[in-house]
Amino acid sequence: MRDMLFINGQWTAPAARGRFEVCDPATGEVFAQAPLGTAADIDQAVAAARRAFDKGPWPRLSGHERARYLRAIADRILADKDRLGLIEVRDNGKPLPEAVWDMEDAAGCFAFYAGLTEEMDGDQGEIIPLQDARFQSKVVREPIGVAGAIIPWNYPLLMAAWKVAPALAAGCTMVLKPSELTPLTALELAAICEEVGLPEGVLNVVPGFGSDAGQRLAQHPDVDKLAFTGSVPTGSRIMQMAAADIKNISLELGGKSPFVVFADSDIEKAVEWIMFGIFWNQGQVCSATSRVLVEESLYPRLMERLVAEAAKIRIGNGMEDGVKLGPLISETQHAKILGMIEKGVAAGATVVHGGRRPAGLDAGYFLEPTILTDMDDDNLVWREEIFGPVVCVRPFKDEAEAIRLANDSPFGLAAAVMSDDLDRCERIARAFRAGIVWINCSQPTFTEAPWGGYKKSGIGRELGRWGLANYLETKQITTFNHRERWGWYIT
Ligand code: NAD
């Protein structure tokens, strides 16, 4: 395991010489020590990123040259996906096939942005038609500068890729602070950047705690852009910190996404996508469709099938073959979610499946796939993000009621609808107040398409060309083309 920070292209001992423990969620045991970055290390890393941006080659390379590095990073991630996947499983707990899939996705993200940065070479700027023909305005795009990235633990390397790849493609330099719960694959990414010869200071990786390293990165005056993914309360704090310097920010926050299932749906497809929407990655997915609304006439049959299939899910250590549900990330999350279920039940909800630690899995942070029903609009399990394998299911009468219930949330990240009637699906898709909508599926995510939410789910969009735009400034260059003098003071 790597025990140094990656700053200015060098493996660097933390200023305070500290380490922190990394725990395997499947056993609850400490299996690694990570280097503990603090505010002093963030200062070093930002200084390195600043030098690399102001004086280094990176922002001045052509898109084709930057793309060569991004493709080399993608190739190395792909070539090493099994080893990286194993690290991710121990760090995060997810089943190995999911972790390997994440590695492939992360590689795909670097390859995609390699393509976009190449396209930027042909961009000579856009000429804007002006009302006053004596002038000509050209609009060009330039890298914002030094970017800071603060990421969560649910998709450790993938969340890093979503920020590092577009930032580097744009010509920015970056300081990345992974979650204190899952610091390891970010350091592996640093090692890959070293192997491919990424110029010094372009990517700096400093694991550490939010209250110290994270806070310093969010407040650092030399950081031009801050990209954050995490919870709403932290996002709100980040926004306040960034306000001091009017930092450009993008926020990818939480969700409580609805999935509306109409009675004309194929019941087997509905059950499968409902399960994928909430049990994948142990439900620790910002876009998890954790509120399921089922048309009344289908509700009893669907519940029966859902419970039967949930009962078959193999729970266990993500390293074991056939496991489809690993442990939650931490003891704190485990206790928090059990507490939420208890409060939800006290407020009227019924547990129709799960809701407990599975029998025989006494170590680690395991929770049965959980299905709740009978909750009213105000029940906290219906309103608040649980971030675990817990789905709330309710019947609805008609389309109007389904839309009202779906949109009655402070979040607006994602939403899904299932019906054989595609006109209805399109109508509902337009009515959802959410940034991501799935029709007849839930969760598939593509590097090419924009990702982000309405309302409290965040500000801005990642992925696709929107993700690149996050790291670009827009500059207008206006030329006075006329032969005559301007003639205001001197006529
Ligand atoms: P979190 O907000 O606790 O932590 C996220 C990151 O912020 C971590 O790196 C943490 O160290 C850092 N941090 C914490 N306090 C900080 C502070 N005061 N200053 C600066 N940095 C600080 O979130 P989490 O528990 O790691 O992740 C779960 C949350 O993330 C969920 O709400 C989930 O919905 C959300 N999420 C959203 C998306 C999305 O794309 N919208 C993706 C993944 C996760």
The domain tally of the chain equals 2
Question: In this structure, is residue 488 part of a structural domain?
Answer: no
254 lines ligand 1 (CB under 6 A): yes
Question: In this structure, is residue 486 part of a structural domain?
Answer: no
| Full DSSP string of 243-277 | HTTT-EEEEE-----EEEE-TTS-HHHHHHHHHHH
Which residue owns the Cα nearest ligand 1 atom 16? 210
Q: Do 304 and 399 belong together in one domain? A: yes
Q: Do 106 and 127 belong together in one domain? A: yes
Question: In this structure, is residue 212 part of a structural domain?
Answer: yes
Q: Do 84 and 203 belong together in one domain? A: yes
CA 228 to ligand 1 centroid distance, Å: 7
Q: Do 283 and 316 belong together in one domain? A: yes
What CATH number is given to the structural domain containing 410? Answer: 3.40.309.10
Length of the chain equals 491
Which residue owns the Cα nearest ligand 1 atom 22? 210
141 lines ligand 1 (CB under 6 A): no
Question: In this structure, is residue 446 part of a structural domain?
Answer: no
What do you get for the CA distance between the two ends of the chain, in Å?
74
What CATH number is given to the structural domain containing 206? Answer: 3.40.605.10
Which residue owns the Cα nearest ligand 1 atom 9? 179
Which residue owns the Cα nearest ligand 1 atom 19? 215
Atom of ligand 1 nearest to the CA of 152: 26
Alpha-carbon gap, residue 54 to 72, rounded angstroms: 24
388 lines ligand 1 (CB under 6 A): no
Question: In this structure, is residue 489 part of a structural domain?
Answer: no
154 lines ligand 1 (CB under 6 A): yes
Atom of ligand 1 nearest to the CA of 234: 2
Question: In this structure, is residue 348 part of a structural domain?
Answer: yes
Q: Do 469 and 352 belong together in one domain? A: no
Q: 222: number of CA atoms within 13 Å, CB side?
A: 16
Alpha-carbon gap, residue 291 to 288, rounded angstroms: 9
Fill in the amino acid letter for 467.
Answer: G
150 lines ligand 1 (CB under 6 A): yes
Q: Do 149 and 119 belong together in one domain? A: yes
Q: Do 287 and 384 belong together in one domain? A: yes
State residue 124's pLDDT score.
84
Q: Do 430 and 303 belong together in one domain? A: yes
CA 250 to ligand 1 centroid distance, Å: 13
Full pLDDT tens readout for the chain, 491 residues: 689 999 999 999 999 999 999 999 999 999 999 999 999 999 999 999 999 999 999 999 999 999 999 999 999 999 999 999 999 999 999 999 999 999 999 999 999 999 999 999 978 899 999 999 999 999 999 999 999 999 999 999 999 999 999 999 999 999 999 999 999 999 999 999 999 999 999 999 999 999 999 999 999 999 999 999 999 999 999 999 999 999 999 999 999 999 999 999 999 999 999 999 999 999 999 999 999 999 999 999 999 999 999 999 999 999 999 999 999 999 999 999 999 999 999 999 999 999 999 999 999 999 999 999 999 999 999 999 999 999 999 999 999 999 999 999 999 999 999 999 999 999 999 999 999 999 999 999 999 999 999 999 999 999 999 999 999 999 999 999 988 999 999 98
Bridge partners for 393 per DSSP: 292
How many CB atoms sit inside 10 A of residue 490's CB? 6
Q: Do 194 and 275 belong together in one domain? A: no
Question: In this structure, is residue 191 part of a structural domain?
Answer: yes
Which residue owns the Cα nearest ligand 1 atom 4? 230
- 262 lies in which domain range? 258-439
Run of H or E including 47: helix 39-54
Distance of CA 81 to the CA centre of its chain: 19
Question: In this structure, is residue 155 part of a structural domain?
Answer: yes
Q: Do 365 and 465 belong together in one domain? A: no
Q: Do 195 and 314 belong together in one domain? A: no
212 lines ligand 1 (CB under 6 A): no
237 lines ligand 1 (CB under 6 A): yes
Which residue owns the Cα nearest ligand 1 atom 35? 230
Q: Which residues are catalytically annotated?
A: 252, 286
How many CB atoms sit inside 10 A of residue 352's CB? 17
Q: Do 247 and 266 belong together in one domain? A: no
CA 401 to ligand 1 centroid distance, Å: 33
151 lines ligand 1 (CB under 6 A): yes
CA 395 to ligand 1 centroid distance, Å: 32
460 lines ligand 1 (CB under 6 A): no
CA 261 to ligand 1 centroid distance, Å: 30
